[in-house]
Amino acid sequence: MLTLKDRFEKFILSTRGVESVDQLMKHCVLEGRQRADYLACDRRVVIEQKSIDVNPDYKIQQFLDKLASAGRLPSSGQMDWSLAELLSKVVPERLIPLSQVGQYVV
């Protein structure tokens, strides 16, 4: 099975007008130099490919656990939020919860 990176490369190179910089530069040795991955639109567009090769799900859960243990996530009410909705409810770090008063102060 092809990796995400390999599938993207196959897709992007099947697009008319896209060139692989690695193929163009395969006979050039530029030690210590970085270069883009693809050129498109008569070489006016530079495409830099980035991909995640490992599943980062555990990092998201660790982040949410840390917010919850610090009291920065809601503790009651609707709990079937999307990740975006949940993160929009995060209490900013600079606010100090005053549970005695029931409000936040800067």
Asked if 49 and 8 touch (Cβ cutoff 8 Å), the reply is yes
Asked if 30 and 22 touch (Cβ cutoff 8 Å), the reply is no
Digit-coded pLDDT (tens) for 26-63: 888 777 788 889 999 999 999 998 877 777 778 888 88
Q: Residue 84: pLDDT above 80?
A: no
Domain boundaries, the chain: 1-68
Close Cβ partners of 10 (under 8 Å, ≥ 6 residues apart) = 2
User: Which has more pLDDT, 65 or 80?
Assistant: 65
pLDDT at site 46: 94
Burial of 51 (0-12, 13-18, 19+ CB in 10 A): exposed
Structure tokens at 12: 């992007």
pLDDT at site 48: 92
